[in-house]
């Protein structure tokens, strides 16, 4: 039985959330003294964008300078990442804004934009990462925290190939 062709952005999001994209935390990082693992923007794009394109979606992001109210009552310039998820056949869309941290240097600004692009796309598609531990609840030592069942780690290349070999996941 085939899925009906989505008529608008809501129906597309329903199809995506019915079978959310799966990412693998295969990159090592560090925040302060804490070592972390994450799925980088390359993997996020490789796993998620083909599914969006197959459903007639266009993903757009744009770093934008906006004037926002400051503490002194004046408007201050602030960089944000504007994003749009557009369903081309129906011309329906979802838009949002992701605030960018004050960077200071061009390199830090680029990192903030990359981070925002990755998190916005993951959030809008409800993508999940293998070995996800609720992003900090366990590390924060909160009482009552129960770690999710362990999911076997699959190398990112294998996860990508599995998606290519199983088009019904799209």
Question: Do the bridges between strand 34-38 and strand 57-69 make them parallel or antiparallel, or are there none, so unpaired?
Answer: unpaired
Quote the distance between the C-alpha of residue 109 and its chain's center: 18
pLDDT, greater one: 154 or 128 = 128
Confidence of residue 161 (pLDDT cuts 50, 70, 90): low
pTM above 0.75, yes or no: no
Residue 5 has pLDDT above 80, yes or no: no
What is the average per-residue pLDDT within 45-55?
94
> Over the stretch 52-86, which tens digit does the pLDDT of each residue have?
999 999 999 999 998 888 788 888 888 899 999 99
The DSSP element (H or E) to which 120 belongs, if any, is: helix 106-125
Six token digits for residue 129: 């990462």
Query: Going by C-beta distance under 8 Å and a sequence separation of 6 or more, which residues neighbour residue 82?
Result: 61, 62, 63, 64, 95, 96, 97
Q: What is the pLDDT of residue 145?
A: 30
CB 160 within 8 A of CB 55: no
Q: What is the pLDDT of residue 117?
A: 95
The DSSP element (H or E) to which 92 belongs, if any, is: strand 92-99
3-state secondary structure of 103: coil
């Amino acid at each position: 039985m085939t899925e009906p062709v989505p008529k608008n952005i809501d129906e597309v999001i329903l199809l995506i959330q019915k079978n959310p994209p799966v990412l693998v935390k295969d990159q090592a990082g560090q925040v302060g003294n804490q070592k972390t693992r994450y799925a980088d923007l390359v993997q996020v794009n490789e796993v998620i964008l083909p599914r969006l394109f197959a459903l007639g979606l266009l993903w757009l992001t744009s770093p934008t300078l906006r004037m926002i109210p400051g503490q002194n009552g004046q408007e201050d310039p602030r960089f944000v990442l504007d994003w749009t998820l557009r369903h081309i056949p129906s011309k329906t869309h979802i838009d949002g804004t992701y605030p960018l941290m004050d960077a200071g240097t061009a390199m830090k600004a680029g990192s903030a934009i990359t981070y925002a692009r990755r998190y916005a796309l993951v959030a809008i598609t409800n993508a999940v990462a293998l070995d996800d531990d609720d992003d900090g609840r366990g590390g924060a030592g909160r009482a009552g925290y129960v770690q999710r069942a362990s999911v076997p780690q699959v190398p990112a290349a294998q996860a990508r190939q599995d998606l290519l070999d199983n088009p019904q996941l799209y």
